[in-house]
Amino acid sequence: MGKDVLTGTYFLTGNEACAAGALAAGCRFFAGYPITPSSEIAERMSIRLPQVGGVYIQMEDEIASMAAILGASWAGAKSMTATSGPGISLMLENIGLGVMTETPCVVVNVMRGGPSTGLPTLVGQADVMQARWGSHGDYEIIALSPSSPQEAFDYTIRAFNLAETWRVPVILLMDEVVGHMRERVVIPEKKDIKVANRRGPSEPPGKFKIFKSKKDLIPEMPVAGQGYAVHVTGLTHDERGYPAIEWEAQEKLVSRLVQKIRLNSDKIAAWEETGVEGAEIVLVSYGISTRICRAVREMAREKGLNLGLLRLEVIWPFPEKRVRELAGRIKAFLTVEINYGQIALEVERCAAGKCITRLVGHGGGTVHDPKKVFEAVEEIAS
């Protein structure tokens, strides 16, 4: 069998790096449907998975792809799909099933401009809110956003680890630019890659209740074929997994699904701060826009202006506490994203009027012009 971790230094696109990360994380099943700008992930997986004993299947559509990776996960495999724009819209119903049945899996959304068919080959960052609550009903989810091919590799591994740990579909919100640009990617040795695996049942079949959680709100997960006669349903269910169509059951189950992420958000949320201490104005950004903000920071420094950057590595859960804290100390938050205000609203909510909040956004098709962002900074600074 082939190697799953191909240690070395490469010049890869974000999409290729994402596929390499998935294999390194232990992904052995990929179901997908081609769509620009995500297709190279599927192409790469179709070549690589058979080499490591995994299965790639091209399904008839995105709905089927999402259903298939849930099935594969319950068969014990780490599974993944990748798509973009219209494809992710089609996957949402089954993403909800994944949340409800606590099925670990990774969904990559290489964001393009929308709505509808929009800009198939060009960048967008407008699926941020959809990643959070695109499926119907109330839930919490985890979403990450890489800003370079190296991070596409690293975060894909992280996405699998988070999915396995918290038993929730994890969304990797890449964007077209990160997906297609090439940069140096270092793939470490296998022994240096941390891989998390789901916790299997600690009790024998019979006694064991498949949706009874421990203190951390995460139930242990048996899979098909182990003799646990699992019953998995998208209906509201009790700890045995049986349908329980009552408000009490709903309260118990859905609040746990929400709380397992909310109460643990300190462990899941991750962000990076650059020059935030002492800065009056803090840029908030993620994905490719982060890099534009770095360029803006340099422009600011040349003009003697100290600009902070809060960059979301994990978008959901949002670093609510930290944003609240900073809001009391700084003059303004400036959110830079390729949409008309999705994370900006979140920042505004958390700032709660304690500082100025502004959006520098546009509809997609290109990244921000650093000069335009800098103009917005100067306007607030003056």
216, containing H or E segment: none
Cis peptide before 115 (omega within 30 of 0): yes
Closest to another protein by CB, 261 or 292: 292
CB of 7 to another protein, least distance (A): 6
Closest to another protein by CB, 11 or 340: 11
CB of 166 to another protein, least distance (A): 21
Closest to another protein by CB, 232 or 314: 232
CB of 371 to another protein, least distance (A): 10
CB of 29 to another protein, least distance (A): 5
Closest to another protein by CB, 223 or 270: 223
3-state SS, one letter per residue, for 332-359: EEEEEECCCCCHHHHHHHHHCCCCEEEE
Closest to another protein by CB, 168 or 373: 373
CB of 161 to another protein, least distance (A): 15
How many Cβ atoms are within 10 Å of 8's Cβ, its own excluded?
10
Query: CA 256 to CA 252: how far, in whole Å?
Result: 6
CB of 355 to another protein, least distance (A): 25
Residues with Cβ < 8 Å from 38, sequence gap 6 or more?
15, 32, 82, 83, 84, 87, 108, 109, 110, 179
Question: How far, rounded to the nearest angstrom, does the alpha carbon of residue 353 sit from its chain's CA centroid?
Answer: 28
CB of 211 to another protein, least distance (A): 13
Closest to another protein by CB, 92 or 326: 92
CA–CA distances in Å: residue 193 to residues 81, 157, 286: 22, 8, 24
179, containing H or E segment: helix 176-180
CB of 354 to another protein, least distance (A): 30
Query: CA 213 to CA 208: how far, in whole Å?
Result: 11
- R_g of the chain computed on alpha carbons: 21
How many Cβ atoms are within 10 Å of 309's Cβ, its own excluded?
22
Classified as helix, coil or strand, 208 is: coil
Closest to another protein by CB, 120 or 356: 120
Strand 27-32 to strand 55-58: parallel, antiparallel, or no bridges (unpaired)?
parallel
**89 is written with which tokens?**
């819209």
129, containing H or E segment: helix 128-133
Query: CA 298 to CA 308: how far, in whole Å?
Result: 11
Closest to another protein by CB, 57 or 258: 57
Closest to another protein by CB, 71 or 262: 71
Closest to another protein by CB, 135 or 357: 135
The torsion of the CA quartet 6, 7, 9, 12, rounded to 10 degrees, works out to 30
CB of 220 to another protein, least distance (A): 16
The amino acid at residue 87 is G
CB of 108 to another protein, least distance (A): 17
Query: CA 378 to CA 382: how far, in whole Å?
Result: 6
